Structure formats: C-alpha cells, structure tokens
C-alpha cells in the first residue's frame, strides 16, 4: 500500500471515529436533556401535590390531575384506614368524596394481596398484574407502595395503554420517589384536616359549629344567587332545657344535646348542614330547598325528637321537645343589598320563628315570612 493510500485510510478512519464520537456525545446530551426534562416534570409534580392545601384537593390532584399529566389510562389509590377514622373525619368536613378509584381498606392484608405478599414496587406488563387494577384499558401497570417510616399507609396504582410504559427493566427511582412524596402529602393533609376539624366542629355533639355554619351559609348564598335555587334555614331550640340541667344534672344535659344532634343528622341530606349555634340551639341550612319542603323537614325533626327517650344518670328515661323557626330566600326576592343582608335576614327570620313557636306553646314549627327591605328608600 502506498503512503497516499495509507493516508486516505487513516484519515477516513479518523473521520469515522470523529463522527461516531459526535453521535455518541449527541446521544448522551439528548439522554441527559430527556432525564433533566423528566426530573423537571417530576419536580413540578411534587410542588403541585405539596401545594394542595386540603385533603379533598390533594385526592383530586392524585386521582384526576396525575392521570392527565402523566397521560395514564388508570390511577387508583388504596388507603389503609383500620378504624375508619380518616373516612369519618373527611365525611364530617367534606361529606363523601365520590371517587370510585379511592378505596379505603381496614386491613393490611388486602394491600399485601395486591403485591402477592412482599410489598415492593411492581412494574409489569403481565396480565396477572394488570388484572389487579380495576376495569380499564391498561397494558402495563405500576404499583407503588405508600410508606411512612416502616409503616404502609396505602398503595398507588398507575396504568398505561402503552405496553412498554411500565416493565420490569424500567428504572423505578422516580416512581419510588413519587410514592414517598405522595405518602408525606397524604399524612400531612390528614393531620391538617384533624386540626381543621377541631376548629369547625362542636366537640360535644359532633355537629358543625357556629363558625362553620356562617362560612357554609355565605358559600350557599353565593351558589343560590348563581343557580336561582332556593335556600332555607331552620333554627331549633330545645324547650325548657334549663329544667333538664336543674332536674337531671349537666352530664345528662350534655347527653340530651348529643341525642338531639344524633336524631337530626339522619333526617338530613348530605348537602344539608347541621350546626350547634350555641347553648341548646341548633341550626340547619337546607340548600336547594323551598319553604314548603323546609317546613316538612322541620316537622319531621320536631316529631322525631319528641319521641326519643333520653336516659338520665339514674337510667330513668325522659323526653324533650323543640321549637323550630323556618326562614327562606330565593334570588327573585327583592330588596337585599348584598349577601350579608341575605344572611342576616335568613338568620333573624328563623330566630323570630323560634320565638313565635315559644309564644304559641312550644313543640311546634313556625315561619315568619321574610319582608324584603328596600335599602334605597329614604326614611320618612
């Protein structure tokens, strides 16, 4: 081979090596860029969950927004709740959260069954693992254990229509980190709801307190104004309650208050709000409820309470009666300057109804019609 030919071979080989090196560097840069983008997406997702300021919002972001953002076909959340404490807490604050893919379980064995024993990250496109999720179109699944310390608190399940999205050879570091972060968020949000619950619920009767009632009433007035649907309120006052305390003692009086609240609760819809307004007085807010239906509900409450036996400390039974005032408002009523005026009239008219019921002999329901006030009219 001549020197010129050798030079061409050497130069060509060097060029090939340079091209291969450039290709390798380009692939490494693209891989690094992809990993950085993936990491940035997960970081943004972390912040999105950490910024959820309530349990209800966090669950919605996990079950609804996570599915959309990661382009998944399914997301399921199992939460361990042995004493049903979390379910009761959330129900008392928000009512039922209607997510079919939110499943509470009272036994760790149900979660272990999903993992076939040892609870660890599962990435699979095998049919027997896909079948562990509810009905869907998934071709691959990821099962993420949710842990706090050494304790399992639940399990998060992700499903994809892409058969190669989750498979055993896929690195699961990001998913494990996601599971850890979601576990922290869930536990933190539940603790926050416990504190919130203490500030919004009457601890004696487990009914909502006065603060919660005013917040809910303001919200429902705004909703009623938008929807043009009626809104009613009941004020319920226990008759001769001082005599109960004097005759039977304050412990029995407390028992009577709890009994009244427990009797009213089952007679209401999930959207209704029962609150202890103060002392022996309760209030009920009835969204999307006109005056005739509000009176019917009030009568059912009055009748039911009058037939309930309450035991004193000597195990002797006695009965109570209540006086109930009813008020009502709908958007087509004129003369109210703003939402605060509507709120004041609903409360004051229901309160007047209670006083009229007392004057009429107690153990009855009375309505004092709201008289619209023309706020623009000058006094004589």
Same domain, 336 and 309: yes
* 330 class by beta-carbon count within 10 Å (0-12 exposed, 13-18 middle, 19+ buried): middle
Q: Checking phi first, is residue 359 left (phi over 0); if not, alpha (psi -120 to 50) or beta? A: alpha
- Last residue within a domain, chosen from 199, 218, 240: 199
Instruction: Note the pLDDT tens digit of each residue in 48-83.
Output: 888 998 999 999 999 999 999 889 999 999 999 998
Same domain, 191 and 334: no
Confidence of residue 372 (pLDDT cuts 50, 70, 90): very low
**Is pLDDT at 264 greater than 50 in this prediction?**
yes
Q: Would 10 be classed as within a structural domain?
A: no
Confidence of residue 14 (pLDDT cuts 50, 70, 90): low
Same domain, 155 and 62: yes
Same domain, 226 and 363: yes
Q: Would 42 be classed as within a structural domain?
A: no
Where is mean pLDDT largest: 32-36, 116-120, 245-249?
245-249
Same domain, 285 and 194: no
Same domain, 186 and 216: no
Neighbouring CB atoms inside 10 A of 165's CB total: 21
- Domain residues for the domain of 112 are 52-199
Total domain count for the chain?
2
At residue 5, the pLDDT reads 56
Same domain, 178 and 240: no
- pTM of the complete model: 0.65
Same domain, 94 and 170: yes
Give the CATH number of the domain where residue 261 resides.
Answer: 3.30.70.270
- Last residue within a domain, chosen from 178, 199, 220: 199
At residue 317, the pLDDT reads 94
Residues contacting residue 316 through CB under 8 Å, at least 6 positions apart? none
Q: Per-residue pLDDT averaged across 32-58, rounded?
A: 77
Same domain, 256 and 153: no
Confidence of residue 252 (pLDDT cuts 50, 70, 90): very high
Same domain, 152 and 293: no
At residue 376, the pLDDT reads 46
Same domain, 175 and 118: yes
| Helix extents (H) in the chain | 3-50, 55-60, 66-69, 85-94, 108-114, 127-130, 173-200, 210-227, 241-248, 250-264, 291-306, 339-359
**Is pLDDT at 375 greater than 50 in this prediction?**
no
Instruction: Note the pLDDT tens digit of each residue in 332-361.
Output: 766 676 888 899 989 999 999 999 999 999
Question: What is the percent of the chain where pLDDT is above 70?
Answer: 86
Instruction: Note the pLDDT tens digit of each residue in 81-95.
Output: 998 999 988 887 777
């Amino acid at each position: 081979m001549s020197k010129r030919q050798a030079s061409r071979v050497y130069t060509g080989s060097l060029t090939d090596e340079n091209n291969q090196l450039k290709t390798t560097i380009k692939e490494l840069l693209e891989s690094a860029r992809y990993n950085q983008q993936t990491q940035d997406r997960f970081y943004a997702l972390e912040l999105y969950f950490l910024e959820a300021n309530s349990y209800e919002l966090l669950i919605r972001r996990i079950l609804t927004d996570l599915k959309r953002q990661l382009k998944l076909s399914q997301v399921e959340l199992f939460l361990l709740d042995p004493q049903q404490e979390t379910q009761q807490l959330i129900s008392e604050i928000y009512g039922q959260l209607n997510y079919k893919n939110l499943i509470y379980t009272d036994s760790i064995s149900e979660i272990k069954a999903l993992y076939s024993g040892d609870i660890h990250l599962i990435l699979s496109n095998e049919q027997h693992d896909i079948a562990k999720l509810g009905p869907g179109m998934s071709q691959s699944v990821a099962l993420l254990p949710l842990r706090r310390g050494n304790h399992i608190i639940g399990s998060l399940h992700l499903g994809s229509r892409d058969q190669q999205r989750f498979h055993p050879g896929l690195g699961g570091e990001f998913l494990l980190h996601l599971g850890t972060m979601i576990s922290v968020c869930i536990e933190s949000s539940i603790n926050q709801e416990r504190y919130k619950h203490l500030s919004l619920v009457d601890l004696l009767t487990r009914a909502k307190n006065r603060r919660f009632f005013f917040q809910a009433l303001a919200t429902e007035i705004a909703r009623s104004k938008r929807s043009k649907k009626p809104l009613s309120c009941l004020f319920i006052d226990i008759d001769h309650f001082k005599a109960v305390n004097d005759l039977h003692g304050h412990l029995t009086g407390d028992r009577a208050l709890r009994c009244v609240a427990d009797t009213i609760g089952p007679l209401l819809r999930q959207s209704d709000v029962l609150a202890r307004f103060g002392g022996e007085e309760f209030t009920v807010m009835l969204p999307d409820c006109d005056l005739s239906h509000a009176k019917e509900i009030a009568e059912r409450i009055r009748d039911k309470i009058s037939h309930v036996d309450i035991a004193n400390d000597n195990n002797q039974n006695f009965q109570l009666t209540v006086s109930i005032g009813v008020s009502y408002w709908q958007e087509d009523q004129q003369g109210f300057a703003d939402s605060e005026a509507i709120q004041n009239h609903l409360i004051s008219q229901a309160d007047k109804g209670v006083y009229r019921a007392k004057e009429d002999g107690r153990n009855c329901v009375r309505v004092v019609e709201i008289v619209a006030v023309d706020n623009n009219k000058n006094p004589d």
